[in-house]
Amino acid sequence: MTADIPASASPAEDAARGNAEHALERVRELQQENTQLHEAVRSHAVVDQAIGVVIATGRLRPEQGWNALVGVSQHTNIKLRHVAELVVEWARTGHLASDVRAELEQQLDRAHAPRPRG
């Protein structure tokens, strides 16, 4: 026998080692899922705050605020969460990138435009 290769463990030890490895892998998976859920909650909170800023600024209903943020995101090719962060920062500092500001103004104008009745 060489020193590099451990002696064969008993079936009970092999089973215990396998269970421990499985448990460790499961813990890692759960930690990753937990991290992802925390990020989702933070992201959701920022989007909700941005909707509040937009509905207060534009005097819109909540679904119109949501649609305005989505429109800004789509027309500027910026992820929704980042648009939301920019809008929340704008509420705090008064600064908003000119392209985002221009698109937000267009979205607010669209939200206020009369809809044709059919």
Establish if 67 belongs to a structural domain: yes
pLDDT digits (tens, 9 = 90+) for 4-57: 555 566 877 777 787 878 888 888 887 888 777 777 767 789 999 999 999 999
Establish if 118 belongs to a structural domain: no
Q: Domain limits at 27?
A: 14-112
Angstrom distance (rounded) from CA 83 to CA 100: 8
Establish if 3 belongs to a structural domain: no
Establish if 107 belongs to a structural domain: yes
Indicate the number of domains in the chain. 1
Token digits for 103? 């698109």
Residue 55, CA distances (Å) to 1, 14, 25, 45 in order: 75, 61, 45, 15
Establish if 6 belongs to a structural domain: no
Token digits for 111? 């939200």
pLDDT digits (tens, 9 = 90+) for 52-83: 999 999 999 999 999 999 999 999 999 999 99
Establish if 1 belongs to a structural domain: no
Question: If you count them, how many residues does the chain have?
Answer: 118
